[in-house]
Structure 1
């Protein structure tokens, strides 16, 4: 069967939508698809996965398992991914039988930091000065002006994993050795002022819409807080970020939901950090604060339905809930103070159905909505205090 370039017609409710990956992003996609009347099928090796728990169909298989992929294709009319590290080749295999969005070629760029940086540059989107390190010769040839920097594995890094700060050549060589001389990208360390992200959806016809720009705070490489509207980012800079993200998506001929993360530098310049070929942690607030969430947009893009611009009806703050909250100061497991949090106005609790809390593991998120940004922030600070989270 030839690879379908597009859907023959919009997929209407009643069709089955498939998703590669069983994490919380897949779970929220499943919820959105089912609310719109679609059935869902999830391919994931873990029988207790968050998405699998919620889906009508589960395919228990590895991402590269040929029988599993064939079963997902048989069940589904269109297929997407919820995890950036699903092998692009698996998506290519599925695309021989079913419409897949985003396409394997676009996902492959997002999976490789070197290809990602090169794509940013080809689009005229600024990014940090960098060097690719795949050999001892390239290591030795690193320019002095790239140090101090951050060494990142080219593939399979997320949430701060596969990264090391290096101040000089000795630390760079040691870090590369610790990463087992895997292909890496060295990025120059820049004076960062803010972190923001743009979540957009691009349809088969090239139509593009985006969520409001999100202002993000990371702790230990993991997203901790998202505020919308972005309180400290000028409108012109937000517009520049949206234009850059749209350019990146158009150049990839992207279909689906895409997140592009940016740094705002101390001098006010904008540089692209990385992108994710899926809904993003920083867009979770849209379930409660927008009239169209990032997950409904994901459904619409893969079903070929019209895209409408999301409207922020409530200022919002999102707090990530990591497994650390399930342990007291002595390391004993306990339940977080949900009753105290849920007593606060405008609080929306989302837990992902993960039975095993671990430190650093994303267990859920808390969205606070209010009539004003100031009130949303004040209530979110109260919630953080109740849970024992740091202020922001």
Structure 2
């Protein structure tokens, strides 16, 4: 609800059942962090990703996120608190809204599994979120996570996959993931592309701009 008129409309068409009232917040960007714990209780996090959505579907994740050191520390602390309170094993994806001007953070979603916004870790980190997930569950140690270089992951939605298949041969820096789904549907995640390094990132951004 944005205006008094919206309140009047709700009152005039009051729905039945249980309602949940949520405060409307002002945030500047959405980020996410993947976290797990080893069998020995050591906390492991992957670099924070900055996410952009298209029609409420994740479109891109850029790593590292362009946030202040204070916000980075706050998010790391949130990840540690959640991992400790849940006695976490396996990977947990945490989506957050941040407001850089007010230095505020809100947790938006918890995903108790490897998460789409963490797919960049397959190529951009020494240990992927998937390997970290299994290592945590079976009790294997997890080395400190390192980022190979700045990365960009882009989801291929609907028939974007078909365009990307044709373009792939001309983009040697692409790490192209085709999910092999039988039906191509608008807005459906059909695959993703990850690139590592600033030059490759600029190349992928140019391709994505051409899809619009």
TM-score, normalising length: structure 2: 0.88
1:382 equivalent to 2:209? Answer no
1:153-194 deviations in Å (ceiling 9; x for gaps)? xxxxxxxxxxxxx943634886955xxx4x553321111201
Native 8 Å contact 1:197 1:262 kept in 2: yes
1:185-229 deviations in Å (ceiling 9; x for gaps)? 332111120111110111233211111011111122111110001
Query: Match of 1:368?
Result: 195
Native 8 Å contact 1:211 1:309 kept in 2: no
Distance in 2 between the 1:168 and 1:377 partners? 45
Native 8 Å contact 2:39 2:141 kept in 1: no
Query: Match of 2:77?
Result: 243
Distance in 1 between the 2:208 and 2:149 partners? 19
Distance in 1 between the 2:206 and 2:112 partners? 34
Native 8 Å contact 2:59 2:154 kept in 1: yes
**1:358 Cα offset (Å):** 1.1
Native 8 Å contact 2:39 2:140 kept in 1: no
Native 8 Å contact 2:37 2:44 kept in 1: yes
3-state SS in 2 of match to 1:366: strand
Native 8 Å contact 1:286 1:292 kept in 2: yes
Query: Match of 1:358?
Result: 185
Native 8 Å contact 1:315 1:376 kept in 2: no
**1:306 Cα offset (Å):** 0.6
3-state SS in 2 of match to 1:256: coil
Distance in 2 between the 1:315 and 1:192 partners? 24
Distance in 2 between the 1:320 and 1:295 partners? 18
Unaligned runs of 5+ residues in structure 2 are: none
**1:338 Cα offset (Å):** 2.1
1:289 equivalent to 2:145? Answer no
Change (3 A) 1:213 1:300: same
Which residue of 140, 149, 156 maps to 1:305? 140
Native 8 Å contact 1:344 1:383 kept in 2: no
Change (3 A) 1:175 1:363: farther
3-state SS in 1 of match to 2:205: helix
**1:383 Cα offset (Å):** 2.3
Which residue of 106, 111, 117 maps to 1:271? 106
1:82-105 deviations in Å (ceiling 9; x for gaps)? xxxxxxxxxxxxxxxxxxxxxxxx
Q: Mean Cα displacement is larger for which, 183-192 or 300-309?
A: 183-192
Query: Match of 2:37?
Result: 202
**1:309 Cα offset (Å):** 2.0
Query: Match of 1:314?
Result: 149
Distance in 2 between the 1:378 and 1:170 partners? 46
TM-score, normalising length: structure 1: 0.50
Between the two proteins, the alignment pairs up a number of residues equal to: 210
Distance in 2 between the 1:255 and 1:172 partners? 45
Distance in 1 between the 2:22 and 2:13 partners? 16
Distance in 1 between the 2:11 and 2:41 partners? 42
Unaligned runs of 5+ residues in structure 1 are: 1-146, 150-165, 327-334
Change (3 A) 1:307 1:290: same
Q: Per chain length, whose mean CA-contact separation is higher, i.e. which structure has more relative contact order (CA < 8 Å, sep 6+)?
A: 2
Distance in 1 between the 2:68 and 2:168 partners? 32
Distance in 2 between the 1:217 and 1:172 partners? 34
Change (3 A) 1:378 1:204: same
